[in-house]
Amino acid sequence: MSALLPENFADLEPFAERWCLATEHERYGARLASTTEEMQAFYDAVVPRAEEAMSYLEKLPFDALPEDALNLLHLLYSMIQVSFPVEVWRQPRVPDSGSSSFDCVIEPVP
């Protein structure tokens, strides 16, 4: 299996297949399908590398990211998706939200 992320982010590769997701809908679904422990492990691995990842991506043209860099961007988007549940709620779902849900109609670009 070939690497999904740039070589200098190989330590995040164990999370790539599950969290390098192109759409907000997919990322939200992965969050809801995860346990708090799984989200915490992902969060703990990515957060210390987030600034370095953003610096790496800022050097590339956003309208023509190589696939491994685009995957890294999607991994950061997923880290953002799990950050509030990890930091505040300690659960994947929004507390006291019952069966309500939301749909994102516009995706971030790239």
| pLDDT lower than 50: segments of the chain | 95
Residue 62 lies inside a defined structural domain of this protein: yes
pLDDT on residue 44: 97
Quote the number of domains for the chain. 1
pLDDT on residue 92: 58
CA–CA separation, 77 vs 81, rounded Å?
Answer: 6
pLDDT on residue 53: 98
pLDDT on residue 47: 97
Residue 82 lies inside a defined structural domain of this protein: yes
Bond before 110 cis per omega within 30 degrees: yes
For residue 75, with 0-12 CB atoms within 10 Å meaning exposed, 13-18 middle and 19 or more buried, which class applies? buried
Q: What is the pTM of this model?
A: 0.83
**Domain range spanning residue 19?**
12-88
Residue 40 lies inside a defined structural domain of this protein: yes
pLDDT on residue 2: 86
Residue 25 lies inside a defined structural domain of this protein: yes
Amino acid (1-letter code) at residue 57: L
